[in-house]
Chain A
Amino acid sequence: MNNLAYIYKLWLNVAKTSGKLTTSDVLLAAKRLVEGHSDEEISVSIEEFDTLAKGISLDETIVHLHTIEISKKYIILINLFMVIMLKNISRERTNKKQIAALKEIYLRLELPYLYDILYLLMSKKYERAHGVLSRHTPNIDFICFDKNAKSELNQSFKSYQVSFIILKIDDFFLLLNNHSDSLHIYTFNNNDKLSLYDKCQEFKTEPYSFLKHKIRNHSIYYLDEKSFIRIINHEEVIYLDYSVIERLFSREKHVQYLVSELKTTEQTFLQCSIVKDHIYSIKADKLYAGYSKRRTIVKDVNFNIHEGELVAIMGPSGSGKTTLLRTFINEAKILKGELLINNEEISEKYFHRMGYVAQDDVLIRDLNVYDNMYYYYRLHFGKEKSDDVVDKIISKQLRDLGIIDIKNSPVFRNGKYMISGGQRKRLNIALELMKDVDLILMDEPTSGLSSLDSEKIIKELKGITHLNKIVIINIHQPSTSMYRQFDKVIVFNEDGNNIYTNKSSEVLKIFKLVKTEDAYMFNDSEESKLKDLECMKCDKSDPELLLEIQADEKSNFWNLFSYLNNFTEK
Chain B
Amino acid sequence: MFNNPIATQINYQLRRQFKIKTYERLNLIVSFVIAPMLSFLSAFIFRSDLDLVRNQSYPSYLFFMLISGIFFGLIGSVFEIIKDRQMVQRERLGGVSIFGYYLSKYYVLSFFGLIQTILYNLIGMIFLSIPWVLVAYNSLVMFLVVVVSISFGLFISSLTRNTMIASNLIPVLIIPQILLGGMIPYSQMDKSIFMWETNYDTTPPIARIMPVTYAYESLITGNVAFTLGNKEINDQVSQMVDFLEDNQFMSIEKDSFISHLHCSFCSKTWLLDIVIIIGYIIGTFILGYVIFYRRIYNG
List residues of B (1-35) whose CB comes within 8 Å of A's CBs: 1-5, 8-9, 11-13, 15-16, 19-21, 23-24
Residues of A within 8 A of B283 (CB): none
Bound complex: CA A376 to CA B84 (Å): 13
* Chain A binder among B93-101, B124-132, B133-141: B93-101
The smallest C-beta distance from B8 to any residue of chain A, in angstroms, reads 5
In the complex, the answer to whether B24 meets A380 with C-beta atoms within 8 Å is no
CB distance from A469 to the nearest CB of B (A): 15
Contact B9 A379 (CB under 8 A): yes
Q: Which residue of chain A is the closest to B26 with respect to CB atoms?
A: A414
Indicate if the CB atoms of B93 and A364 lie closer than 8 Å.
no
Assembly CA distance A358 to B89 (angstroms): 10
A382 and B19 within 8 A (CB): no
**Could you tell me if B8 and A382 are in contact, using CB atoms closer than 8 angstroms?**
yes
Query: For residue B21, which residues in chain A have a CB less than 8 angstroms away from its CB?
Result: 366
B186 to nearest A CB, angstroms? 44
- Among B19, B89, B94, B299, max chain A CB count under 10 A is at B94
Chain A nearest CB from B237 CB (Å) reads 44
Chain A: minimal CB distance from B162 (Å): 13
Using CB atoms, name the residue of chain A closest to B11.
Answer: A383
B297 at the interface (CB under 8 A from A): yes
Which chain B residues lie closer than 8 Å to A360 at the CB level? 86
Q: Is the interface of B mostly helix, strand, loop or mixed?
A: helix
* Complex-state Cα separation, A352 to B93, whole angstroms: 5
User: Residues of A contacting B15 with CB < 8 Å?
Assistant: 375
Residue pair A381, B16 in contact (C-beta under 8 Å): no
Q: Is the CB of A381 within 8 A of B2?
A: yes
CB-defined contacts of A351 to chain B, threshold 8 Å:
92-95
Give the size of the chain B interface in residues (CB under 8 angstroms).
Answer: 30
- Residue in contact with B2 in the complex, picked from A352, A355, A356, A367, CB distance below 8 Å: A352
**In residues 371-394 of chain A, which contact B (Cβ within 8 Å)?**
371, 375-376, 378-383
Does A362 have its Cβ within 8 Å of any Cβ on chain B?
yes
Question: Which residues on the B side are within 8 Å of A134 (C-beta)?
Answer: none
A291 in the interface, Cβ–Cβ < 8 Å? Answer: yes
- Name A380's contact: one of B2, B16, B19, B297 (CB within 8 Å): B2
Chain B residue nearest to A411 (CB atoms) is B23
- A367 near B4 with CB under 8 A, answer no
B208 contacts the other chain (CB 8 A): no
Q: A331-B299, A364-B87, A380-B2 are in contact. Are A375 and B93 (CB under 8 A)?
A: no
Does B91 interact with chain A (Cβ within 8 Å)?
yes
Residues from chain B with a CB closer than 8 A to the CB of A363 are 87
- Rounded to whole angstroms, the CA-CA distance of A108 and B44 in the bound complex is 80
Measured CB to CB, the closest approach of chain A to B92, in angstroms, equals 8
How far apart are A121's CB and chain B's nearest CB, in angstroms?
Answer: 35
Q: Does B90 lie at the interface of the complex (its beta carbon under 8 Å from any beta carbon of A)? A: yes
Q: Could you say which of A355, A375, A382 contacts B4, with CB atoms under 8 Å apart?
A: A382
Residue among A366, A378, A383 making CB contact with B23, cutoff 8 Å: A366
B85 — nearest CB in chain A belongs to which residue? A362
Q: Is the CB of B13 within 8 A of A379?
A: yes
A367 to chain B: which residues have CB within 8 Å?
Answer: 16, 19-20, 23
A311, CB-defined interface residue at 8 Å? no
Question: Which residues from B are CB-within-8-Å of A376?
Answer: 91
Nearest-Cβ distance from residue B258 to partner chain A, whole angstroms: 53
Contacts A273-B2, A331-B299, A366-B23; A352 near B94 (Cβ below 8 A): yes
Asked whether any CB of chain B lies closer than 8 Å to the CB of A435, the reply is yes
Chain A residue total in the interface (Cβ 8 A): 28
Mark out the residues of chain A between 244 and 276 whose CB falls within 8 Å of any chain B CB in the assembled complex.
273
B 57-99 binary contact with A (CB < 8 Å = 1; else 0): 0000000000000000000000000001011011111111000
Instruction: Contacts A273-B2, A360-B86, A367-B23 given; indicate if A355 touches B9 (C-beta within 8 A).
Output: no
Please give, as numbers and ranges, the residues of chain A lying within 8 Å of B8 by CB-CB distance: 378, 382-383
Among A354, A371, A381, point to the contact of B93 (Cβ < 8 A): A354
Q: Is the CB–CB distance between A375 and B94 below 8 Å?
A: no
Known: A351-B95, A379-B96, A380-B95. A356 touches B90 (CB 8 A): yes
Decide if A151 is an interface residue (CB 8 Å cutoff).
no
Q: Are B93 and A379 in touch, CB under 8 angstroms?
A: no
Task: Tell me the complex Cα distance, A18–B23, Å.
Answer: 67
Contact of A329 with B by CB under 8 A: yes
Which of A291, A354, A355, A362 interacts with B299 by CB under 8 Å?
Answer: A291
At the interface, yes or no: A330 with Cβ under 8 Å from chain B? yes
Q: Report yes or no: A379 in contact with B4, Cβ–Cβ below 8 A.
A: yes
- Considering the chains assembled together, what is the distance between the CA atoms of A375 and B24 in angstroms? 18
B16, A375: Cβ atoms closer than 8 Å: yes
In angstroms, Cα B132 to Cα A227, docked, is 72
The complex places the Cα of A538 from the Cα of B270 at a distance, in Å, of 89
Known contacts A364-B87, A367-B20, A371-B19; A382/B93 CB under 8 A = no
> What A residues does B95 contact at CB under 8 A?
351-352, 380
Interface string of B273-299 (1 = CB under 8 A from A): 000000000000000000000000101
Docked-complex contact A355 and B93, CB < 8 angstroms: yes
Q: Which residue of chain B has the shortest Cβ distance to A361 in the bound complex?
A: B86
Contacts of B91 in A (CB 8 A): 376, 379-380
Nearest Cβ in chain A — how far from B176, in angstroms?
32
Q: Please, how many angstroms separate the alpha-carbon atoms of A147 and B248 in the complex?
A: 100
24 A-B pairs in the complex with CB atoms less than 8 angstroms apart: A273-B3, A331-B299, A351-B93, A351-B95, A355-B90, A355-B93, A356-B89, A356-B93, A362-B90, A364-B20, A364-B87, A366-B19, A366-B20, A366-B21, A367-B20, A367-B23, A375-B15, A376-B91, A379-B13, A380-B4, A380-B96, A382-B2, A382-B3, A382-B5
What 3 pairs across the A-B complex have the smallest Cβ distances?
A366-B23, A382-B4, A375-B16
Which residues of A approach B to under 8 Å, CB–CB?
273, 291, 329-332, 351-352, 354-356, 358, 360, 362-364, 366-367, 371, 375-376, 378-383, 435
B residues sitting closer than 8 Å to A (CB atoms) are 1-5, 8-9, 11-13, 15-16, 19-21, 23-24, 84, 86-87, 89-96, 297, 299
Apart from A356-B90, A362-B87, A363-B87, list 4 A-B contacts with CB within 8 A.
A332-B299, A362-B86, A367-B19, A380-B95
